Amino acid sequence: VTEAFGIDPDRIVVVPHGVPAPRTSADEIAATRERYLGADDRGGRLVLLPAITHPHKGHLRLISAFARWSTPVDRLVLIGGVGAAEQDVMNAIRTSDVAERIERPGRVDDDQRDSLIAAADVLVLPSEEEGFGAPVIEAMAAGTPVIVSDIPALVEVGGGAAVVATDGIDTLVEALETAVADRDRLITAGLERSRHFTTATSGAALAAAYRKAVGMGEETP
């Protein structure tokens, strides 16, 4: 803004996106893991990608990486609406060597989405483009480790609390290994990072911006 329009930096207020706190109980998390991993769990890892099947969201890359990395008891769940790459994604699932380990529920309601995010062992967002990446914060707030691609928006939102995977299938496989091995640290870092993006933090920053805009500075009306 300052470079393109010559705006005084003192007039710029950055308001963080506010992500509502997760609303998922321990029982709901357990039921979701049982739904996808089986009653005994068997040590399986649940990997989640929540995104519309647009070409830039990275579904094909994750399907390939999951096929290389996963064990017979792991599951990949792809939720989100139908996008332009839906047929390509479905074809990639059908032709994969691990098709029986991949589920495509499609669009789910908010409660199902929240329980899947909280139940997942890792949430992956390998997008080539993002404006913000709300699922990153949603997962961190729920105590779920996160993997993101190395685009500016996701790296910035992750703030060092997410595993960053550069281009290619191999780097995404390595990121999956890191997310599982470094789980405890990532959960702690993610919970701390998510506190910067609460609805209360966002609302307070927006209110401060409004006061500044009408000449009230930091004063409370």
Query: For 163-173, what is the mean pLDDT?
Result: 95
pLDDT at 152 over 70: yes
At residue 221, the pLDDT reads 44
Specify the residue for token string 């008891």.
73
* Tens-digit pLDDT profile for residues 14-69: 899 999 877 899 999 999 999 999 877 678 999 999 999 999 999 999 999 999 99
Report the pLDDT value the prediction gives residue 41, as an integer from 0 to 100: 64
Q: What is the mean pLDDT of residues 97-101?
A: 96
For residue 116, give the 3-state DSSP assignment. helix
What does each C-alpha distance from 35 to 1, 26, 75 come to in angstroms? 48, 14, 11
The CA distance from 109 to 111, in Å, is: 6
The pLDDT score that the predictor gives to residue 216 is 61
* Residue 10 banded pLDDT, cuts 50, 70, 90: confident
pTM over 0.85: yes
Rg (CA), the chain: 19
How many Å apart are CA 39 and CA 187, to the nearest integer? 25
